Structures are given as structure tokens and as C-alpha cells.
Amino acid sequence: MMRGDLDDACTDWRERWDCLVRKIERVQTAAQEKQLLARLGQPDGPFVLAFANAHAMNSLANSVPFFDALRSADMVLRDGSGMATLFKLLRLQPGLNLNGTDLIPQLIRQFDGRCIAFYGTQEPYLQRALQLGAREFAPNSRFVSAHGFHDTGVYTGLALLHQPALIVLGMGMPRQEEVAAALRSVLTFPCLIVCGGAIIDFLGGKTPRAPMWMRRKGLEWAFRLGMEPRRLFQRYVIGNPLFLTRALRLASLRRA
């Protein structure tokens, strides 16, 4: 099947996975990461940045609308050790782990001096995240915010009103990808729109980070599962083996 035909079809989870794997931009060196940050810091129009992790791949296997929203992002980066395993099984270099939790604070620094919007989570964590952002990352910026439970039109209206140069969405999948696509469809000014997952919760102190040694070994998911076993049981205990099974299946089909 030709790539154009694949992009039009994508009716099977294997086709959707294959399509997204090809879309993910892999960064191999620290120098390339620095160049990427500089490029993202100067968007020439509305630009959506998303991240693909094992949970995202499982989700798009079951949801064509989520796949369409994620595929419509202007850039997708690899997030997590599960995705590194997938790329290795496909005999591709996985590149650096550019997870949003570590990358987004660096992006916020790139936008210091310009308006920044946080849309997501709830109080008091939202205000705590804003305070941390203003204190640690962008002291010269004006911050605007909204909690993560409004209708989509509220976010597009606020963005049109304040015209932030950076919008960080912290609503979780698939909601944030849907909102990101809606924002890009109506905004006309330069703006980086980031699908940030739990980033606002992390910045606001609602969700703690794993110890550094666990992050380096790709085990932050295990730490999060230990902190929230009931909420994350389906994602990790059920989802991780399912992701690996699908990854092995896709790799075997590619080698066939």
C-alpha cells in the first residue's frame, strides 16, 4: 500500500500505528534537541505539538477520532520507554526520550516575555502551576489560565481574547488533542499549542515526579502506578502488556 493510500485508509490499528510511527520526529542528540527547542520557540502560525507514548498508541488503536486528532498535530515526539521498545523492535533508532514533563518547562523558558496560557487541571493546582511558571521559568511573561473542564469554545474564545504565544494544555488524552485541533483551526496568530498531559498537575504539586533514578531507567510509569493504582491500573497493568503484544505483532508483520 502506498503512503498516500495508507493515510487515507488507516482503518486497522496496525495501519494507524504504522502511520503514526512514521510521523513521530525522533531527535538523536542534545544539539538537535536544542535546535528543536529554538524552532518550537518561534512558530510562524498556530502550531500543535503532541507526544506519543504507549497509552496514546493503545488509545489510537481503539479510537479513529483520537488517531485523527493526534495525526493532525504539526509535530509528534516520542515519549517514554515503551515507545523506545517499539522503535527498536521495528529496527529504528528511537532517539532521545522527549517526554512532555521534562520538555515543556524548557519550552516555557523559550517564551519568557510573551503571553503564556495554561488550560487544564483544577484549583488550587492551576494557580500553583502558574506561580511556579512565573517564578522559575518565565518571570517576564503574562500568564492567563482556565481549568480543564470547560467546553471547547471557552478555550478558543480565551485564546482569541488574550492571543498567547504559548498554550499549554493539561487535560489528558484524548481531550487535549481535540482541543488543540480546535484551537489551531480558529487561531490566526503565531502560537505554539502543546498537548501536555499531566504537566500542569506536576507543576502545581498535585502529582509528584518519580525519583531521578527511576526516570533514567524508564520506570516513572511504575512510580505513578504506585501513587495512583486505582486510576492507572487499566493504563499500565492492562495497557503495557497489550502495547508490547501489539508492538511485537507490528514488528513481525514488517519483517514478513
Instruction: Count other Cβ atoms within 10 Å, centred on residue 114.
Output: 18
Cell numbers placing 196: 501536555
CATH 3.40.50 at 3-209, yes or no: yes
Domain locations along the chain: 3-209
Look at residues 233, 240, 256 and name the one whose alpha carbon lies nearest to residue 86. 240
Please write down the HEC assignment for all residues of 141-192. Answer: CCEEEECCCCCHHHHHHHHHHHCCCEEEEECCCCHHHHHHHHHHHHCCCCEE
Q: What is the pLDDT of residues 166-192, one digit of tens each?
A: 999 999 899 999 999 999 999 999 999
Phi, psi dihedral angles at 57 (to 5 degrees)? -65, -40
Per 3-state DSSP, the chain is made up of helix, strand and coil in percentages (nearest 5) of: 55, 10, 30
d(CA 71, CA 57): 11
Q: Do 193 and 184 meet the contact criterion of CB atoms below 8 Å apart? A: yes
Put simply, whether the predicted model's pTM sits higher than 0.85 gets the answer yes
Q: How confident is the model at residue 10 (pLDDT cuts 50, 70, 90)?
A: low
Q: What is the pLDDT of residues 188-240, one digit of tens each?
A: 999 999 999 999 999 999 988 888 888 888 888 888 888 888 888 898 899 99
